[in-house]
Amino acid sequence: MNFDNFNFKSFIYKALQEMGFNEVKPIQEKIIPLILDNKNVIGQSETGSGKTHAFLLPIFQNIEPIGKTQAVITSPTRELAKQIFDMAYKIAEHSDKPYKIKLYVGGTNRDKELTWLENNQPDLVIGTPGRIWDYAIKERKLLIHHCQYFVVDEADMALETGFLEEIDNICGIMPRNLLMCVFSATIPDGLKPFLNKYMIKPVHINLTKGNITPVNLTHYLIKTKGKDKFKLLLSLMSKLNPYLAIIFGNTKKEVAGIYTFLSENNYKVGQIHGDLSSRERARMMRDIRDLRYTYIVATDIAARGIDIEGISHIINFSLPNDEEFYIHRCGRTSRNNLTGLVYSFYDFDDDFYLNKLENKQIKFNHVEIKQGEIVEAKVRNSRRKFVEKVRSKKDELTVRKSKKIKPNYKKKINSRSKK
């Protein structure tokens, strides 16, 4: 299928041509006709599958530049919201009639934005739930009570980060005939009451097909017991030749430590974590996209908060506390049918965690760094797994012995039969 099947406005086709999008992706093929047909949609697909254009294109098809807010898109992080805004802007700039598209996120000039809203209204709003709630409900300056479309992107992350209450409040002042689109990597139980409350007969499109991480991804485990993780990281980095790699730590303190250590060892690295100001994060994102760094050190804010082309490697200096975040970290690479590599440091304490990932059909390759080379290593818990296999085999071969017959039992039976 190509985009001609959708009969979009001419400026949308101009935008698609300039962006080099010719082939309709599976999530777009499923979602776009549903939105055009005014259906509520719940969309699940692999990270990097093209879902942003799956909702942006039909929204632009159905809204007009009339200075009235017709669509609101929320995203749980500033970076993701900015990325959606940039995509929307690239589409809108080809229209003869200018659309008013506004990005509302934390860290911007709040007073200036509220002043603008006193005499103007955007056609399309993109932002974080907290800032949109602030302008629409607290300040009552952003008029969304006649909105046609409401998109909740990365809904499971919005639940995790505590934004679901703000999204609930935003929905509460929108029209009852609102068309809602919810996109989420997973549908946790905590999200279901919200979906049932606001979505009437939604069409659920799930294209994950059991592949919770991209199929072109290879997972490696490196055991760290008794080894200095920082020195191990240097050894691993010396053998890799990434286009762009993200090194994940679990805390801001850990990320700062990795960043300092690599800088002291003459690596030019970037860092992304919650302590950076909005301006610092924006500058860092520009530097990353300009390929000023080969390695980026980050907390999980980057696992769901950024979309950078060309990430070839992921290094988990520490495994994330929640296995879902392992999946989101992996989703930063192996996009657009490119291959990706994930290296994770682990210790024996991580066995239960890794078992859960293996139960999700993630296959790990065990390696170690020996004499300066990455070589195959013994499988995790290989001895325990061997013992379990032997015991299982013994159980299959063991035949239950019959109970011993009591002495003189046969004689007693024979004597009774003669009588």
Contact 57, 32 (CB under 8 A): yes
- pLDDT at position 187 is 80
- pLDDT at position 215 is 62
pTM score of the predicted model: 0.71
Nearest to 298 by CA among 310, 322, 314: 314
Q: List per-block mean pLDDT (blocks of 10 residues) for the chain, which spans 419 residues.
A: 90 94 91 96 80 96 96 92 95 96 93 97 97 97 96 86 90 93 84 90 83 74 92 94 93 93 94 80 84 90 69 93 82 76 93 89 91 87 51 54 52 57
* Residue-level length of the chain: 419
Contact 283, 304 (CB under 8 A): no
Name the pairing type of β-strands 217-223 and 203-206. unpaired
Reported as a single tens digit per residue, the pLDDT across 249-259 is: 998 899 999 99
Which element (helix H / strand E) includes 382? helix 382-397
Nearest to 357 by CA among 337, 375, 339, 330: 330
CA-based R_g, the chain, Å:
28
SS3 298: strand
Contact 342, 333 (CB under 8 A): yes
> How far apart (Å, rounded) are the C-alpha atoms in residues 144 and 142?
6
Ranges in the chain annotated CATH 3.40.50.300: 3-206, 217-376
Reported as a single tens digit per residue, the pLDDT across 89-145 is: 999 999 999 999 999 998 889 999 999 999 999 999 999 999 999 999 999 999 999
> How far apart (Å, rounded) are the C-alpha atoms in residues 275 and 277?
6
Check the CA dihedral 407-409-411-415 and report its sign. positive
- pLDDT at position 42 is 95
Cα–Cα–Cα angle for 235, 238, 240, nearest 5°? Answer: 115
Domain covering 3-206, topology: Rossmann fold (3.40.50)
- pLDDT at position 47 is 63
- pLDDT at position 416 is 58
Which residue type does 314 have? I
CB count within 10 Å of CB 297 equals 29
Helices and strands in the chain, H and E counts: 17, 15
Query: 């549903």: which residue's tokens?
Result: 34
| Strand partners of residue 157 | none
Domain 217-376: which CATH number of 2.60.40.1890, 3.40.50.300, 3.30.70.260, 1.10.10.10: 3.40.50.300
